[in-house]
Amino acid sequence: MRSFLSAPALLLALAPCMALGQTAQPSPAPSSSPAGAPAEPAPATEADSAAGHATSVQVTAPMSAQISASMSGQLEKFPFRDGDHFHKGDVLAEFRCGQQKATLAHARAEYIKRRGLLDVQNKMKALGQWSVSDLQSAAADERAANADLEMATAVVAQCTVEAPFDGRVSNTMVHNYQYLSPGTPMLEILDDTSLELSMIVPSMELRNLAPGTPFRIHILETDATYPATITRISGKVDPVSKTIKVYGKLVRPAPDLLPGMTGEAQFGK
Residue 17 has pLDDT above 50, yes or no: no
| Per-residue pLDDT tens digits for 98-125 | 999 999 999 999 999 999 999 999 998 8
CATH number for 85: 2.40.50.100
Sign of CA dihedral 89, 93, 96, 97: negative
CA 127 vs CA 114, 133, 135: distances in Å: 20, 16, 13
Q: What are phi and psi of 57, to 5 degrees?
A: -135, 145
Number of H helices, E strands in the chain: 4, 14
Residues 253 and 201 in one domain: yes
CATH number at residue 255: 2.40.30.170
> Phi and psi of 132, rounded to 5°?
-60, -45
Same domain, 177 and 239: no
How much is the pLDDT for 244? Answer: 94
Kindly tell me if the per-residue pLDDT of 190 is higher than 60: yes
- For residue 28, the model assigns a pLDDT of 47
**Does position 162 have pLDDT exceeding 90, yes or no?**
yes
pLDDT of 50 above 60: no
Give the integer Cα–Cα distance in Å for 185 and 194. 25
Least confident of 49-53, 189-193, 203-207: 49-53
Helix (H) or strand (E) holding 6: none
Asked whether residue 231 carries a pLDDT value surpassing 60, the answer given is yes
Q: Are 192 and 259 in contact (CB under 8 A)?
A: yes
- What average pLDDT score do residues 77-86 get? 95
The fraction of the chain above a pLDDT of 90, given in percent, is 70
* Domain membership flag for residue 22: no
**pLDDT digits 0-9 by tens, 165-181:** 999 999 999 999 999 99
Predicted local distance difference test score (pLDDT) of residue 47: 36
Sign of the C-alpha dihedral, residues 51, 262, 207, 63? positive
- DSSP H helical segments within the chain, as ranges? 7-20, 46-49, 98-127, 132-157
Is position 23 within any domain? no
Q: Are residues 88 and 146 in the same domain?
A: yes
Domain finish residue from 148, 167, 190: 190
Q: Which residues pair with 227 in a beta bridge?
A: 216
Confidence of residue 53 (pLDDT cuts 50, 70, 90): low
Give the whole-angstrom CA distance, residue 42 versus residue 38: 12
Instruction: Please give the tally of structural domains in the chain.
Output: 2
Q: pLDDT value at position 269?
A: 55
Q: Which residue has the higher pLDDT, 28 or 91?
A: 91
Residue 2, pLDDT above cutoff 50: no
> Model confidence over 251-263: pLDDT tens digits?
998 989 999 999 9
DSSP state of 62: S
Mean pLDDT of the chain: 84
Boundaries of domain holding 201: 52-64+192-267
pLDDT for 35 equals: 43
**Interval 58-68 mean pLDDT:** 94
Residue 154 CA, distance from chain mean position? 32
Asked whether residue 171 falls in the same domain as residue 79, the answer is yes
Does any domain span residue 14?
Answer: no
204 DSSP 8-state letter? G
Amino acid at 214: P
Length of the chain: 269
Q: Average the pLDDT over 222-237 and give the result.
A: 94
Q: pTM of the prediction?
A: 0.68
What is the DSSP secondary structure assignment for residue 256, as one 8-state letter? Answer: T
State mean pLDDT over 184-197. Answer: 93
